[in-house]
Structure 1
């Protein structure tokens, strides 16, 4: 890792830890029956989006808040990013948690680096390296152990959770790649803040926020929701996107390896979720895959750089 990338490394690992722990917090919130998936995703996106744009309004480049909408191409890309990227990764991830648990949902989401490698190969016609040929089987084998518990007789989590988890991985890959052109022109607070508002507003016709009884929530639920909004949404996504200014999309995706680790640890030790020995082996395989890709010496999948599709 080059010296100029150390800031990006710190940002992405901090964001990843916050994101992983927030997944477990969301799992707890669902267990308490306080909010459903629609309500949680909507509240966290709207609240965090408003907070991020408020912070940007106090910074020197505050004019970017409205300036991004004056360029047709940037505005269209921002809307697509907000709907498919931000809302897509948030909703699919939370839905996977709701039907499974935070550990499985997060680990499935971290198939995104493999998806980015496949995209790079197909898009740029780059050759797979020896490192890729090692890490892809690790990812697939780890996923099998994670989902089946080492048994072919059935899945250790529901098929619904698996589908949402894989979709979350696809959304995370899109999210990571699609944001780069916007970041070349606008501050990360502007991009992330507006994309969160767009994603949150898209849910309002389906799930009107004024019909939620947020004021009646118990104190424990409020504390958990506040953590999810401030740390698991605002800081996590802001730092993740900001890291793309000094790291490539694949590096940012891969260096988030602390997210699945933090999700697994907090799910097992805080929520006391069952996690068998084969599932631990699966978790180690997937995390190992991420670490190998992130810290290996050669370039994977050809010339993987900061360009996005």
Structure 2
């Protein structure tokens, strides 16, 4: 039974990570070839995925948490902040980076958030810089240089706006990861993230309401891609990750979660035929090396804090 549960956990986290990475690539298709507005997609994605997650909880155990989370100001106010700044910040900056560049670069830049968390704890003097931390930082800097320049010191290999939003996505992901810790100690991750998505979606609705989509230009392909991004690339990806924690350790899920950027890179290069130079592959390898170092690091408190996030980068 134990082996069966662990196998189920491995299948769930691997599937969830792949769905998350491929969802970013499909979003890129929607932006470039289906003329979908970034604001509208983020609003729609957050609102529908959030409602679906809360629906899962509604038919599960302790469904009273869906309402109970709003009964105390100590939880309600942080949840609003988490949704409006953390969740919306992560989702919008990530999607904006994809729209100006591609899912591979956006996902890899967002996965630099652990390095930003290291800096945060060192600046607050809550952690001491170790040799491992230094190696992680060097790998991230070298990886970013090669990924964004393809070895050239005079020009970027991707749009400067893609880099800008990608770096902001990493900052937002770091905030999202750290801010979620206390909320997750009190309530179910599905409840917290479900409500956070709805809050973020409502906030962005003031900029671009869900009903103002350019539906006349939608094709069957557009609807299929939208369904994949919302259902598989967001709702199911998160749900499977949370479910995997019932039979796997945080270290195992963190390591297998590295398949997210891998799936984004592979689908971007081989499906969308985006060019990726030799030095960009070197940069990608450096960032994966950084993620592996983080996944196997069980001694530092800052990594343990990062593992309490509901999902590493999305």
1:58 maps to which residue? Answer: 59
Q: TM-score, normalised by structure 2?
A: 0.88
What pairs with 1:8-47 in structure 2 (closer than 5 Å)?
A: 12-47=13-48
Give yes or no for contact 1:192–1:237 (8 Å, CA) kept in 2: no
Give yes or no for contact 1:188–1:242 (8 Å, CA) kept in 2: no
Give yes or no for contact 2:50–2:195 (8 Å, CA) kept in 1: yes
2:312 maps to which residue? Answer: none
Distance in 1 separating the partners of 2:138 and 2:104: 20
**1:153 aligned counterpart, secondary structure:** coil
2:222 maps to which residue? Answer: 221
2:203 maps to which residue? Answer: 202
> Which stretch of the first structure deviates more once superposed, 232-241 or 175-184?
232-241
1:293 maps to which residue? Answer: 294
> Which stretch of the first structure deviates more once superposed, 10-19 or 149-158?
10-19
Give yes or no for contact 2:108–2:287 (8 Å, CA) kept in 1: yes
Give yes or no for contact 2:144–2:283 (8 Å, CA) kept in 1: yes
CA deviation after TM superposition for structure 1 residue 256, in Å = 2.8
> Which stretch of the first structure deviates more once superposed, 96-105 or 210-219?
210-219
Distance in 1 separating the partners of 2:293 and 2:303: 16
Provide, for residues 125-165 of structure 1, a one-character-per-residue CA deviation record: whole Å limited to 9, x for no partner.
32222211212101110000000110011001111111100
**2:282 aligned counterpart, secondary structure:** helix
Give yes or no for contact 2:255–2:296 (8 Å, CA) kept in 1: no
CA deviation after TM superposition for structure 1 residue 259, in Å = 1.3
> Which stretch of the first structure deviates more once superposed, 252-261 or 201-210?
252-261
CA deviation after TM superposition for structure 1 residue 304, in Å = 4.5
CA deviation after TM superposition for structure 1 residue 237, in Å = 3.2
2:213 maps to which residue? Answer: 212
> Which stretch of the first structure deviates more once superposed, 206-215 or 155-164?
206-215
Structure 1: gaps (5+ residues): none
**RMSD (CA atoms):** 2.7
Distance in 1 separating the partners of 2:167 and 2:255: 16
Give yes or no for contact 2:100–2:159 (8 Å, CA) kept in 1: yes
What pairs with 1:51-200 in structure 2 (closer than 5 Å)?
A: 51-200=52-201
Distance in 1 separating the partners of 2:244 and 2:73: 26
Structure 2: gaps (5+ residues): 310-314
Aligned length: 304
Provide, for residues 5-53 of structure 1, a one-character-per-residue CA deviation record: whole Å limited to 9, x for no partner.
9988765544322211101000111122341100110111111111111
Provide, for residues 274-301 of structure 1, a one-character-per-residue CA deviation record: whole Å limited to 9, x for no partner.
11000010000101111122125x624x
Judged with a 3 Å threshold, the aligned counterparts in structure 2 of structure 1 residues 93 and 201 are, in CA distance, closer, same or farther, namely same
Q: TM-score, normalised by structure 1?
A: 0.89
2:304 maps to which residue? Answer: 305
